[in-house]
Amino acid sequence: MSNEFESLNDEEIVSINNQQVGRFIGIQSNGFTESQLKVEQFRKVITRKLDIKDAQNNTLFGKGINCQVMKFGSSGWQAGKLKATLVLEFCPDEPPST
């Protein structure tokens, strides 16, 4: 297995083992041991599981939340918004055959 991870496209499909991961993040298994989800759907499930909300409807995964950041090399705090994105990456056990 290499350590070269690559981002997955929203339309690609991930098969999740319900015993290991599915129950923890709340994926309905309907008795099956595996669940297949589009990457976009899987990201939404994880985001919902985090259950981050605030009164002004400025969500961390949506519009962003107000914050201050002190960046390397800056002379002080800078006000702005913080937005999180969830990226799913995949690293194959074996390199793809060509």
Give the start-to-end residue ranges of the domains of the chain.
Answer: 1-51, 53-87
Provide the pLDDT for residue 46.
Answer: 78
Strands 65-69 and 78-82: antiparallel
- pLDDT tens-digit map of 15-66: 887 666 655 566 666 666 677 888 888 888 777 777 766 665 557 777 888 8
Centroid of chain to Cα 68? 23
Residue-wise pLDDT for 69-93, tens only, equals 998 998 999 989 988 888 889 988 8
Structure tokens given for 77 = 């705090």
pLDDT at position 94, please?
A: 80
**Quick check: 46 and 60 in contact, CB under 8 A?**
no
**pTM as predicted:** 0.63
